[in-house]
Every structure is written in C-alpha cells, then in structure tokens.
C-alpha cells in the first residue's frame, strides 16, 4: 500500500537526519551507530544495536526508543510487534523535553487506538476483536477519528493479515460503535457506487447523539451499542463480534414506550465471514416496538447495523 511506502520513506529520511545530529553530538554513541545503520537500510544491525539500549528499563535514551519503536511498528529487522512499538513510543513520549520525545506522543496515541489506517499498512492489520475493545479503552477518553466505512474489504489481498478483517455489516456498525461528531466515509467513491444499498446506512446515520447505551458486551469478544439521534426520536444500533460467529438476542427496551419504529436492518448474509466472504449482506425491514427483540446472527468478524426510524 502507498501508506506503507510513505511510512518507510519518512522513517529512513528522519533516521538519516537524526543520525547526523546524534553523531555530531556524540561520535562515540552506540545509538548514533544504530540510527546510522537504519538510515542505510541495515535493519538487522539497527535492531542489534538499538534494542539493548532502548529496552533497558533504566534507559532514558529517547532516540533509541523512538527508532526501535519504528522498527517494531514496520516489521523491519524484527517481527512486527505493535504492542512493543506502543510501549516504546510511550516511554519516549513521557520525556517530551528530550530528543524525539515530543514526536513520540502522537505515535503512541495512534498505536494505542489503531484506527482504520492500520488496516491499510499495519502488519498484521487490526483483528476482528478490535472493535469490541475500543469502546472500553480509547473511546472512554472521547471521540475518535477511526475512518470507518470500508466497502472494498480485501483490496486484492489474499492474506487476511494484510487487509480489513471484518464483514461489510461490521463496517456499517462502526458508525454507531465509534463516536465521532466529525465522521467520514473512508473508501473510494467507485466502491460505494457498487454498493448503493449499503451506502444508504452511511447516508442516514447521524454524527451526534442524544443518548448512548451499551446493551451487551464481553470485552474482546463482542459489543452492542444503541444511540438516539440528537434532537430526533430515531435510534441506531451497532454490533460487532470477534473471529467467532455468535447469535445475540437484543431486547429493544431502549426504544420509547408506546411508539412504533421501522427497523432498517443491515446484517451479515448467508455464508458471510471476514475470512472468505466479507461482503455478503442482507438488508431487511420490520416494524418493532420497545417490547420486541432482535436476534442478531453475527458471522465471524461480522456485525449488525440497524436504524430504528420512528413512525
């Protein structure tokens, strides 16, 4: 992907710059040797030099921590390990007055939340359970620019760890599960043109809410969230599961008592799976009240998105 190439170019150019800076300050520094190795593309040598420096618990070498984090993030010279990358960015960022400490903080935030961009250049990409974790970690701090709504799930990739790991229904559910008052449709126009039926949910779903409720969840397994549109009686529901298929019975008692709604349901189609059939989608409508229930059959890596239009 272009994003991965850009990240590599930035890493190498930045490494070349800092190599000169560090070498100028301390020509004897092993950190300078490690960054110089990174700048010339010798990632294995860079790892061998930087790792013992950066991972020493007593170390305050933010330069070594910053560039070793980049190597773990990109999988160059070492197996990709986003958790280690996140931890090293956090350590470097905690010393913002030191070299590259300030630059490390936004990267720590990005790795802590891993938005949809990681489904383009992350290796591995976000696993299916990611959506069931975010509401109880990053999203507790407030809105998030996740960039939801990818319709071209595989973008020509056969390795599931190199593309989006969800179904189309789960992509629609993201608009409810992940709060952002400035939302977007992150895919290409031509991909939406091919699925105008699914695009309708994105056109309908609001970006701000009157009330939000987490109806059911097992963190890391599945999550179900319902939200009422601000200033209107309509409700929206989003659900997502991990790599395991499951059926959830969802009471609709969050709806207004004594009122009828048209449930516009976008669910995983027959045989849907994030692994080999991610775009199978069924769209249906039914009349419901607060006394009804919805039985949500979620495919592996699947989801459910519902608009409850007040009648």
Residue 42 C-alpha from the chain's centroid: 30
Residues 150 and 284 in one domain: yes
- How far is the C-alpha of 32 from the C-alpha of 19, rounded, in Å? 6
CA-to-CA separations, 270 to 24, 146, 241, 246, in angstroms, rounded: 63, 28, 16, 14
Residues 208 and 97 in one domain: no
- How far is the C-alpha of 54 from the C-alpha of 88, rounded, in Å? 8
The dihedral through the CA atoms of 187, 193, 199, 202 has a sign that is positive
- How far is the C-alpha of 169 from the C-alpha of 114, rounded, in Å? 20
- Residues 235-260: tens digit of each pLDDT: 999 999 999 999 999 999 999 999 99
Task: Report yes or no on 122 lying in a domain.
Answer: no
Task: Report yes or no on 121 lying in a domain.
Answer: no
pTM of the model: 0.73
Active site residues: 117
Residues 168 and 300 in one domain: yes
Task: Report yes or no on 161 lying in a domain.
Answer: yes
- Residues 255-296: tens digit of each pLDDT: 999 999 999 999 999 999 999 999 999 999 999 999 999 999
Residues 29 and 72 in one domain: yes
Residue 215 pLDDT exceeds 60: yes
Range(s) of the domain holding residue 20: 2-112
Residues 195 and 227 in one domain: yes
Decide if 300 contacts 168 (C-beta within 8 A): no
């Amino acid at each position: 992907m272009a994003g991965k190439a850009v990240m590599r170019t930035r890493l190498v150019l930045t490494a070349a710059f800092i190599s000169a800076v560090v070498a100028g300050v301390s020509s004897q520094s092993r950190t300078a040797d490690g960054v110089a190795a990174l700048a010339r593309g010798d990632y294995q040598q860079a790892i061998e030099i930087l790792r013992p420096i950066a991972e020493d618990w007593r170390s305050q070498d933010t330069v070594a921590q910053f560039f070793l984090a980049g190597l773990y993030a990109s999988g160059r010279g070492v197996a990709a390990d986003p958790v280690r990358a996140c931890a090293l960015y956090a350590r470097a960022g905690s010393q913002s007055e030191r070299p590259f400490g300030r630059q490390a903080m936004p990267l720590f935030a990005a790795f802590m939340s891993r938005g949809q961009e990681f489904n383009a250049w992350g290796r591995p990409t976000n696993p299916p359970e990611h959506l069931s974790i975010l509401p109880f970690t990053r999203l507790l701090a407030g809105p998030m620019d996740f960039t939801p709504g990818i319709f071209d799930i595989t973008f020509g990739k056969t390795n599931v760890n190199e593309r989006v790991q969800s179904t189309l229904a789960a992509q629609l559910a993201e608009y409810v599960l992940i709060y952002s008052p400035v939302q977007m449709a992150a895919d290409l126009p031509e991909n939406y043109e091919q699925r105008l039926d699914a695009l309708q949910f994105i056109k309908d779903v609001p970006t701000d809410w009157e009330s939000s409720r987490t109806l059911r969840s097992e963190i890391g397994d599945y999550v179900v969230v319902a939200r009422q549109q601000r200033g209107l009686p309509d409700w929206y529901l989003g659900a997502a599961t991990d790599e395991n298929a499951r059926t959830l019975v969802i009471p609709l008692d969050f709806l207004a008592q004594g009122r009828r709604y048209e449930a516009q349901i976008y669910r995983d189609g027959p045989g849907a799976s994030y692994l080999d059939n991610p775009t199978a989608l069924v769209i249906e409508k039914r009349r419901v009240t607060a006394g009804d229930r919805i039985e949500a059959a979620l495919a592996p890596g699947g989801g459910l998105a519902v608009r409850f239009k007040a009648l």
